[in-house]
A and B are shown apart, each in its own frame.
Chain A
Amino acid sequence: MTSPTPAGAPALIAMRGIVKRFGEFTANAGIDLDIVAGEAHALLGENGAGKSTLVKILYGLLEPTEGEIRLDGRPICFEDPEAARAAGIGMVFQHFSLFDNLTVAENIALVLPRGEKLAGLGARIEAVTKRYGLKLEANRPVWTLSAGERQRIEIARCLLQDPKLIVLDEPTSVLTPQEAETLFATLDVLRAEGRAILYISHRLEEVRRLCNRATVLRAGRVVATCDPREQSARALAAMMVGSHIVDVRAKPADAAGPERLRVEQLSLPAEDMHGVCLVDVSMQVRAGEVFGLAGIAGNGQDELFAALSGERLAAQSGAVRIDGISVGRDNITLRRQYGAAFVPEERNGHAAAPDFTLSQNVILSRHATGGVTSGAFVDLPAARALARDIIKDFDVRASGADPAARTLSGGNLQKFLVGREISRNPSVLVLNQPTWGVDASASAAIRQLLIDLARQGSAVLVISQDLDELFEISDRMAVIHDGRVSQALIARNTTREEIGLLMGGADMTKAIHAH
């Protein structure tokens, strides 16, 4: 199927028959894609559909096995991203490609064409960031910045190159609704200037708001092209997964049960001078409810997660209580033994060891709560059996009996990791960004699991940047901003705008319907 180009408009970029194989695996199986100047073109597909591979080929990071790319009608073959940038293709990655030890300005200078003068770069950065509303301090080292700020560097350094085509990979995942609107306004301006935009997102509402054309990939092939404004989000999602998406059953919680997780005046100093400190955080999560904590990345979510899990200890043991037991000074192992379970944001490297097998990753978080050890020894057969059960019960797609964690796709690994904790029947479950970078069907499955767990009497705390997700599953919500947590709001009595204002730092003392 070839994409219909708007009548008369010559393609800026024409990709023809793009094939990319990695060993026996075919990531792209003959993809055609046209992008014309001034359009916002969405690239949709589940994780593993081949979007990233296609974009990397376009940006000169990968070489296609077969196929041809034409820019303004001339065949091209980018040897590296520098060549792609010189030809006018800019890229904003989902996973940031920044050097942590360098400053904002140095990171931007790195991608400038060779020979460009560094003098006056600071002023140019300031001009661009001001014009597009990207708040950045040029001399801050990157390691001190939040994910949101890091993304702004990526956007700024892309815009400094004056690109003809801008590729954005999941750009709004770290923005508030209001910030996202500002970004859309920026993108509209860029389009009006005649630049093309290739927009990759899981957020279908956003795609419908922003894009005038969409190409849907599934298993390395183009399965549909359409005008997303004429389709419902559900219809787009169905094209992506090739089947009907099941709605999450979000029946309201029964009468609130007893309090299972209590945080009381938890304060935690920042780990370094640019880190976020937690200030007087108080909240309660009760049996039977899903509690959603919204907030933009880098506002203390990671610090709060570490304080709740016991990876960092509070000053007072009463600051964190699990089922009435003060655990603020206890380590993560003890907290697990009291019945709590945790799912951190970063799958590979934090929640799981990428080079370890799934059964070894079961031992990772469950060695202290029985079943996979006997005395000082690990019980490998028991761990393998448990991993098999998790794979089966939580519908994890994995190749081989006990593969390494890194070989699973993001969605499947996340299902495994959530399943690893839920299968223990925890009394308290704390998750940080549980569906970040997870495809639509896996996200829906995970949300359903969280609701089901809560309805069985557990307390579930979900820290997320995805407001759609939080509104879908939360009974109560609060917002974390600059290390402070707002009062809790009843989710069905509040609006995205209200939460969005709190996320942007509106005065918390004026929090609206206190619960």
Chain B
Amino acid sequence: MRIDLEARSAPSKVIEFCAPLLALCAAVLIGGGCIALLGKSPVDAFSVYFVAPLAEIWSLQEVAVKAGPLILIAIGLSFCYRANLWNIGAEGQFVMGGLAGGMIAIATFDGAGQGVFGSFWILPAMLIAGTLAGLAYALIPAILKVKLGVSEILTSLMLVYIAEIILDYLVRGRLRDPKGFNFPQSVPFDDVARLPFLMEGERLHGGILLALLAVAIAAVVMRRTLFGFDVRLVGSAPKAARFAGFSDARVTLAVFAISGGAAGLAGVCEVAGQIGQLQPVISPGYGFAAIIVAFLGRLQPVGILIAGFVLSLTTIGGEGAQISMKVPLDMTRAFQGILLMCVLAADVFTRYRMRISFGGRA
């Protein structure tokens, strides 16, 4: 038996549009099968997963709150992945961004150091510091790659664990709230160091707006600027990029700076918006989940926007299913993996036609 993949001459626009939806359907069928094997009703499970979170204002907000960092990080990562560079360490850049922003909030706690300037600068300074910290942290693997040829996959991943340990150490040590009964957490940030909420008394904060802004900027940069052209060319045909006069090293540093900055900004938004203080762990794995979001969204800004909400929805729904139906959290993670596999497979089938032939030997 032989399986051939034959390139389609021109993938049809209709199929290209429908493929992610068909992939979603396939993932739901496979996931439903798994849930049925667990002895639960797949129909109930999916109404908890997909319908319940959309039915109420508070859970809708929760979906948007979780989608914000995912989208912001994935937008940054899409620059790296478009250039065929593999930043796996967004989680660490997220942590460093949150830490740097949080340190400003802690240093200015309760009016300290505000002097004559007042407090209006604190939040912008936190956002800038968080972005720069993530950016600088991402430049470590980029510089190692450019100067010494070290694999950015390994270094960026390993730096995640270092960042997590630095945060853990500081929150248990110098940054601990002296009046906090020895709990490993910082002082709660002042209101001037918090991202404003979009609605009074609710949980949706300004981070989602920054994510939307990032989507818009990325769409323009990727399609319309010479830099975006450069990034896509380096990823698609590196030798042609050198012939075009673009420098590999410059692109490597730039895309790592962009993705690190975006992850750092997401990190500071998380501590200044959602959490409101530093804790030993500030991310439920956004930096890794964003890799899935980037590919689910096919590295396209609008695709990433949609994918961020889909993944957030399954996470919130998964939590609901865990509570109301006792479906294990691992099922949610497995489902996210199944979804990614289906999207990637659908991608292959839009571009290739599979032909299975049975032939005898001569």
Contact = CB atoms under 8 A, between A and B. Distances in A.
A336 interface: yes
A360 B361 contact: no
B181 interface: no
A83 B361 contact: yes
B227 interface: yes
Nearest to A366: B244
Given A79-B2, A377-B224, A377-B226, A349 B239 contact: yes
A76 B359 CA distance: 11
B226 A350 contact: no
Contact of A363 (B6, B229, B237): B229
Contacts of B224: 377-378, 380
A351 B226 CA distance: 18
A332 B245 contact: yes
Contacts of A83: 361-362
Contacts of A63: 357, 359
Contacts of B236: 353-356
Interface residues of B, number: 26
Contacts of A352: 237, 240
B6 A22 contact: yes
Interface residues of A, number: 45
B300 to A, nearest CB: 15
B267 to A, nearest CB: 28
A309 B243 contact: yes
Contact of A378 (B6, B229, B361): B229
A77 B244 contact: no
Q: Counting chain B CB atoms within 10 Å of each CB, which of A71, A80, A342, A349 scores highest?
A: A349
Contacts of A349: 237, 239-240
Interface in B216-245: 224-227, 229, 232-233, 236-237, 239-245
A351 to B, nearest CB: 7
Interface in B1-60: 2, 6, 8-9
Given A351-B243, A352-B240, A367-B244, A373 B226 contact: yes
B362 A376 contact: no
Interface string A61-92: 00100000001000011111001101100000
Contacts of A76: 362
Contact of A353 (B2, B233, B357): B233
Interface in A158-204: none
Contacts of A350: 237, 239-240, 243
B362 A365 contact: no
Contacts of B239: 346, 349-350
A344 B243 contact: yes
B83 to A, nearest CB: 13
Interface string A35-60: 00000000000000000000000000
A16 to B, nearest CB: 16
A360 B359 contact: no
Nearest to B362: A76
B360 interface: yes
Contacts of B360: 77, 79
Nearest to A347: B240
Nearest to B9: A23
A317 B239 CA distance: 24
B282 to A, nearest CB: 35
Contacts of A368: 245
A3 interface: no
Contacts of A365: 243-244
Nearest to A356: B236
B295 to A, nearest CB: 18
Nearest to A75: B362
Contacts of A86: 362
A311 interface: yes
Nearest to B229: A378
A249 B8 CA distance: 42
Contacts of A84: 362
Interface string A1-30: 000000000000000000000111100000
Contacts of A373: 226
A78 B362 contact: yes
B245 A336 contact: yes
A250 interface: no
Nearest to A62: B4
A355 B242 CA distance: 16
Interface string A349-391: 1111111100010011101100001001110100000000000
A332 B240 CA distance: 12
A364 B362 contact: no
A333 interface: yes
Contact of B225 (A78, A80, A336, A376): A376
Interface in B238-284: 239-245
A311 B243 contact: yes
Given A87-B362, A377-B225, A364 B6 contact: no
A333 B244 CA distance: 7
Contacts of B237: 349-350, 352-356
B226 A364 contact: no
Interface string A304-344: 00000111000000000000000000011100100000101
Contacts of A346: 239
Contacts of B233: 353, 356, 364
A344 B245 CA distance: 14
A469 B120 CA distance: 73
A67 to B, nearest CB: 14
Contacts of B241: 353
Interface in B292-319: none
B321 to A, nearest CB: 41
Contacts of A376: 225-227
A364 B225 contact: no
Contacts of A367: 226, 229, 244-245
19 contacts: A23-B8, A63-B359, A77-B359, A309-B243, A311-B242, A331-B245, A333-B245, A342-B243, A349-B240, A350-B237, A350-B239, A352-B240, A353-B240, A364-B244, A365-B244, A367-B244, A376-B227, A378-B225, A380-B224
Interface of B: 2, 6, 8-9, 224-227, 229, 232-233, 236-237, 239-245, 353, 357, 359-362
Interface of A: 22-25, 63, 71, 76-80, 83-84, 86-87, 309-311, 331-333, 336, 342, 344, 346, 349-356, 360, 363-365, 367-368, 373, 376-378, 380, 407
Q: 7 closest A-B pairs (Cβ-Cβ)?
A: A333-B245, A353-B237, A76-B362, A353-B240, A332-B245, A364-B244, A350-B239
